[in-house]
Structure 1
Amino acid sequence: MSIFCYKKIDAAVRLGEQFCKKREELKLTLEEAAEKTRVPLKYLAALEKSRFSDLPKTKVHRLAYVKEYATYLNLSPQACVGQFSCEDGLEGSHFIHPLRAIKLFPFLSISTALRTTILTLLVIFFASYLVWQVRRVLEPPRLAVYAPIEGHVLNQTRTAIVGETEKETHLTINGQDVMVTEDGKFDATIDLTVGVNTITIEAVKKHGKTTTLTRHVVVKQTAGIDEVSLR
């Protein structure tokens, strides 16, 4: 009595690849295999290429071809039929075997504790970033006016307004647009009148949040230009 010892299949490799590799090891052509198994050549080619949609539609014929080809190649028919059943229907969904997925994505193979720690740190990082972005949107823009100081007394009818705000902020002084540099600084000269002058500096974010500062300066008499600058 003859005893057959079927070779175990590697579940991490797709069934078609195993069929093709085993046939090449036996130095057989597809034509020879088709003649011996009486399975149409196009179906053997479809099995080796894992193009299961090219196989007959009936389940009985599909499984019979798999079993016949596995037996001919001295592979375990039961194991091949089982793997075929798992892979069949997954052809269009880019099937990745679980064991191969671990090779493709090493993150899945690390310890649970380390994986949990990494995921926790990532969650904290993204949560912190989200909070920071929300605060940037909800908080009014930063605005500082360095000159003139509140209550400054001048002998001139013009003065420079010097300060700093956030970049990409719309700035106005007494309703007039003022250019802000890329680093948020501004420097503008305005006209004054004799007596008490109210200077309103307003910074508006693109989301509508506003910061307003007011300076009161007094002009005693008309003269030239008071140059105010930061030292």
Structure 2
Amino acid sequence: MKTVGEILKNARHKKKLTRRQIAKQTRISLRYLKALEKNDFTSLPEAAFVKGFIRNYANAVELNPQQALAVFRRDYDQNLKGQVIPRSFTQSDIKNRSLWNPKTTVIVAAALLTLTFISYFIYQYRLLESAPPLVIESPMEEEEVTSALTVVGNTDPQATVTINNQQVSVESDGTFRQSILLPQGTRTITIQTTSRAGKSRTVQRTIHVVR
């Protein structure tokens, strides 16, 4: 399927006309005529001028101008700036591409950075307003143990942990482990974790101490 440039060039050859003769007759510069025949629309002005060139060129070689323009419109369109573009590029594609520029990049980066800071502050606020987590791995509820018992759990690394009102050390990963002695019988162990903001969470375990 021939392009508009090929159609015009072939018609000129059939008429045995040179580009210079076409340029003199149509008052189109040789540079533009050469670009038009090669379909090099990046070297041509806006689409409105290109359509005028095609119309005048078609008349000069005794072609139907409307048919030549129809071939041009089949293969080419124009963007928002009036420049000729291949039909495969839609207006929406060009519009979307033009929206992305260095200024847009800075705006998006600033928005993402702001969102990150906001998310961080919300996270910190929730930490301050809520009690720290507390998971007791050992002992289990209603577990039977001897007098020697090891309490193992996990909480926030910055929280303070007490077992039966006795403070125990918390590792950097939030784990804690403490051995305690209990008299025989059914006993209750109270484990409490408290955040720096004073929010606390408590877990109790009922233990049966046997000999």
| Structure in which a larger fraction of residues adopt strand | 2
TM-score (norm 2): 0.49
TM-score (norm 1): 0.45
More contact order relative to length (CA 8 Å, sep ≥ 6): 1
